[in-house]
Chains A and B, each alone.
Chain A
Amino acid sequence: MSTFSLSGAGILAVDPVPWARAQMAFTLACHIILVPLGVSWAFMALVANWRAIRRGDEDALLLAQRWSKYMAVTFAVGAVTGTVLTFEFGLLWPKFMGTWGAAFGIPFSIEGLFFFIEAIFIALYIFGWKRLRPWPHFWTGVPIVIAGIGGTLSVVAANAWMNEPAGFTLNSDGEVVDVDPLKVIFNDAWPYEASHMLVAAYLVGGFLVASVYAVGMLKGRRDRYHRLGFLIPFTVAAIATPIQMVVGDTLARWVYNNEPTKFAAIELVSETDSDVPETLLGRLNSDGEVTGGIAIPGLASWLSDPSTGTSTVVQGLDAFPADERPTTGEVNTVHLAWDVMVGLGTLLFLLSAWYWIAWIFRRDMPRSKLFLRVASVAGVAAVLAMEAGWVVTEVGRQPWIVRGHMKVEDAATGNEGVWITFIVVVVIYLALATTVVLVLRSMSRRFRRQVELVDSDVPYGPREPLPETTEEAEPVGG
């Protein structure tokens, strides 16, 4: 009867570690797609909202309203998928939390504050359209933006701490006996990782929302409403992209200096050497040889430290004991993910450059259909780049969960039924993802139909009674 305690016996008892890893990776990968929308969409809606109030722009007002309604759905789903992660910290990694919770938890306690603010004000903003006056209503949206930024910076502080643990004292039994909260939060990796993710949130959110309107424009809906729906988010993304190139480059150099195993995995460096080539694609074999791919001589060394050029020495994987560095399979995963992130990032940068050049020379977005076609897949590309970036940092940290202190295998739960929960979670999340897309699409269809009928969604207008409560409904302020 008790399948979870059939220790070692029977097919139901399976080593939980790989399943715990898979479940954590899967749920994180799903949740992170919603994060940029939660962080940056409110900002974009406020840009539209601002424009609407300042210039009496009806199209902008409609956009802001509709975006807030889509946000209601994505925020709800993001809140509950985030809750799953909260539970999973304990369910999948109880030994990690038991040992390190006193330090690792600190950034989350601050994140809790921001989450509170976000949940409260998003409700005010979404539900306040008809009853609050325009400017007070606008200002209820501002805390959402601030909370999104603060929340990102806090959560990433926790992740950065796993890469660069700091701010604690251990006793001889390896227990945390003293904590310096500020050093935990402001660990050395934090400024780089946090700014990278924050810019990514605006970049991905911008491209994702813009891509929907690019598709609409390609379908011939070239009205001012769609144009604005494209321009606001795309401009945000096109500002974020060049910034991200600089931030990402700085982070990579920090990784070179501080996380040598991760860097060696990124660059496929098996032996410590200078004049290391930058290998595009390709793979590391178990004998330490790199096959396939295109090697650009000396570039990895040069990028690591331009001041010493190609003579820069890059530490190889062989400089570390085999049980303290990623396995060959993990190295190849990290390297491929790195190529995907940098490759897609570069393409998005070129797309942004195209947009800016058109603005500079013609004061208008590029007219060509090709631009819209590329822009319509830019959202997906940006999501993939972000996912790949997380793969680099998470897989690149292996085998550690707290680098240098605790390995993933020592952190996991002993519950042997994790494979079951993994399967259940995958099924539920796939259904959830499908439904989210269908619901958002059906909302968009309904919005279009409404315009054709009559847009009864009068902003800041009188409240309508509930449908089912007929004339008894008290017409408050109506």
Chain B
Amino acid sequence: MADAVAVVLFVAVSAYAVFAGADFGAGFWDLVAGGATRGARPRAVIDHSVGPVWEANHVWLIFALVVLWTGFPEAFASITLTVFVPLTLVALGIVLRGASFAFRKSLFRTSERRVFGAMFAFSSVLVPYCMGAVAGAIASGRVPAGGEAGDPWTSWVNPTSVVGGVLAVTVGAYLAAVYLIWDARRLADDPLVEYFRRRAVVAAVVAGVVAVVGIFVLRADSRYVFDGLTSRALPLAVLSALCGVGSLALLLRQSPRGARLLAAGAVASVVWAWGVAQWPYILPTSLKVSAAAAPSATLTTLLVVFGVAAVVIVPSIAFLYVLDQRNLLPEEGTDSRPAASGSTPAP
């Protein structure tokens, strides 16, 4: 049953990676979109695309944390004890990001929007980097079990963590660019379709390179996970590579719809490959999934909750995405945009 809960945990983590990862990636493109004038159009698409869904996507993180601390309390305690610094940065980054995004939508002065926009964009890079670094800390066996803290710095400043962090940022950027092509197309904005398509291609190549480099880093720095990745997790790694190459091919052939699915598949299978590679450990190589697991009644409860979530939450989320994708959720409309484009009296 511990295995089933571990699967639930990875479902939550991969859902977070595929959905919220793209929201963070959108923040990355926001960061590099250029000045207020040049970046206005891409930023508008990013706002439009992230606005309605980021909070729902964010809940996957809460869900993953709750499953981790309830289902595998000792693993949670060990992780938070050791990688205190990057997790603190994640928490604060999430505050800055969510709040500044909400504020930016409610503000009008360019100077104000710029400050909050910068904060949103900066924390959109910081948070996935730190999360990837934490994943690297766990994968490389630098988070010891048993209530002893690992090194507060080298646990997450090390080759595997750097690869994890950079991979998280680039993969998010890649996903976001692929999704944003579709959003721009919905808005019938051909120049922007091309804009994001070019970026998606670049990001796909960069993410692929980082992943390949990562394999060599793992070989030198995280032997257990490397061995797992080249044996039991090999099919997933291959699947991820195929999805990645496939989505790149579709991007080059200008068919972004299939590229979206394949990109999501590539990212999800990377997450699963990580999980399978470090199997049966939750903290390689000091704590096994079975040893970390909570008593069986707790695990049953988590599985029941997950079952309810599958029945109640998945259709609701699907409904939200469908409405969003069909342009039925136009905007928060706080501002009735026409007022923004000129008729607002100078403050």
Contact = CB atoms under 8 A, between A and B. Distances in A.
A115 B12 CA distance: 14
Contacts of A340: none
A98 B189 contact: no
Interface string B184-204: 001111100000000000000
B333 A130 contact: yes
A180 B99 contact: no
A352 to B, nearest CB: 32
A2 B305 contact: no
A466 B44 contact: yes
A417 B98 contact: no
Interface residues of A, number: 95
Given A130-B333, A442-B107, A476-B327, A88 B91 contact: yes
Nearest to B65: A86
Interface in A66-113: 69, 72-73, 75-77, 79-84, 86-91, 94-95, 97-106, 108-113
Most A CB within 10 A of own CB, among B52, B96, B106, B190: B106
Interface string A227-262: 000000000000000000000000000000000000
A435 interface: yes
Contact of B188 (A5, A86, A473): A473
Contact of B329 (A83, A106, A127, A143): A127
Contact of A116 (B56, B190, B330): B56
B3 interface: no
A77 B98 contact: yes
Contacts of A127: 51-52, 324, 329-332
B95 A432 contact: yes
Most A CB within 10 A of own CB, among B70, B98, B107, B323: B70
A117 interface: yes
Contacts of B138: none
A80 B77 contact: no
A128 B340 CA distance: 21
Given A112-B63, A127-B51, A72 B152 contact: no
Contacts of A126: 52, 332
A123 interface: yes
Interface in A427-478: 428, 432, 435-436, 439, 442-443, 446, 449-450, 453, 455-457, 463-464, 466-469, 472-474, 476
Interface stretch (B171-179, B209-217, B262-270, B295-303): B295-303
Nearest to B105: A72
A124 B61 contact: no
A298 interface: no
Contact of B84 (A4, A109, A132, A177): A4
A176 B317 contact: no
Contact of A83 (B41, B62, B324): B62
B337 interface: yes
B152 A129 contact: no
A98 B319 CA distance: 37
Contacts, number: 299
Contacts of B67: 109
B58 interface: yes
Contact of B95 (A5, A122, A428, A468): A428
A124 B308 CA distance: 21
B152 A4 contact: yes
B215 to A, nearest CB: 30
A69 B295 contact: no
B320 A467 contact: no
B92 interface: yes
A83 B55 CA distance: 11
Given A76-B102, A117-B316, A128-B329, A428 B77 contact: no
Interface in A319-362: none
Interface residues of B, number: 97
Contacts of A446: 108, 334-335, 339, 344
Contacts of A122: 55
A90 B188 contact: no
Given A95-B147, A124-B323, A432-B99, A69 B309 contact: no
A105 B61 contact: no
A83 B131 CA distance: 14
B264 to A, nearest CB: 19
Contacts of B69: 89-90, 97, 101, 105, 108
A414 interface: yes
A424 interface: yes
Contact of B187 (A73, A180, A450, A474): A474
Contacts of A128: 323, 328-329
Contact of B88 (A75, A87, A476): A87
B166 interface: no
B321 to A, nearest CB: 10
Nearest to A99: B73
Given A91-B84, A116-B59, A124-B323, A457 B333 contact: yes
Nearest to B92: A428
A466 B91 contact: no
Given A76-B102, A86-B66, A439-B103, A415 B151 contact: no
Contacts of A217: none
A24 to B, nearest CB: 13
Contact of B336 (A102, A181, A457): A457
B261 interface: no
B16 to A, nearest CB: 12
Given A79-B55, A98-B78, A116-B56, A181 B335 contact: no
B95 A101 contact: no
B313 A116 contact: yes
B149 to A, nearest CB: 6
A439 B308 CA distance: 37
B90 interface: yes
B107 A439 contact: yes
Contacts of B98: 76-77, 79-80, 83
A456 B340 CA distance: 11
7 contacts: A72-B334, A77-B99, A117-B313, A120-B319, A131-B323, A435-B99, A473-B189
Which 6 residue pairs spanning A and B have beta carbons closest together?
A: A105-B70, A98-B77, A101-B73, A90-B80, A102-B294, A127-B329
Given A83-B91, A106-B301, 14 more contacts: A2-B152, A72-B332, A76-B98, A80-B94, A90-B76, A101-B77, A102-B73, A103-B298, A112-B305, A113-B308, A127-B324, A128-B328, A424-B92, A446-B335
